[in-house]
Copies of this chain bind each other. A is one copy, B any other.
Amino acid sequence: MEPFTPGELAVMQILWEHGELKPAEVQQRYPEPIKNPALRSYLTILVEKGHVTRRKVGKAYFYKAKTKQTAAFKKSLKSIIQGYCDGSVRSLMLNLIRTEKLSEDDLLELKRLADEATQQGEN
């Protein structure tokens, strides 16, 4: 699964959020003004690539995401980890804590989450 182009990703995110829509509805929710045929070309490409399915209802088609959001998330995260963090999630975490200015609350939350995960891992 090669990465989504910006246009494809914008469409996927709308479909992930809203479920099943027809082109005009995706068009309305697109983050910037886009003409209907341009938007439809993205949908067509996504169908060809297997990331989206469609079914006919009346005279119109409804489009639905087939590729799961979590799968796409993992994929793009993996490419960042390999590209910038020596391939290790640990290194990514380190970078995150160092380069992003996390608030006190964020750090406490982070520790709590790590604690929870540790507990679960022991069961």
A residues near B, CB below 8 A?
A: 9, 13, 69-70, 72-74, 76-77, 80, 83-85, 89-90, 92-97, 99-100, 102, 104, 106-111, 113-115, 117-118, 121
Contact = CB atoms under 8 A, between A and B. Distances in A.
Contacts of A93: 93, 96, 106, 109-110, 113
Q: Interface majority SS on A: helix, strand, loop or mixed?
A: helix
Contact of A107 (B74, B109, B121): B121
Q: How many copies are assembled? A: 2
A65 to B, nearest CB: 13
Contacts of A96: 77, 89, 92-93
A70 B99 contact: yes
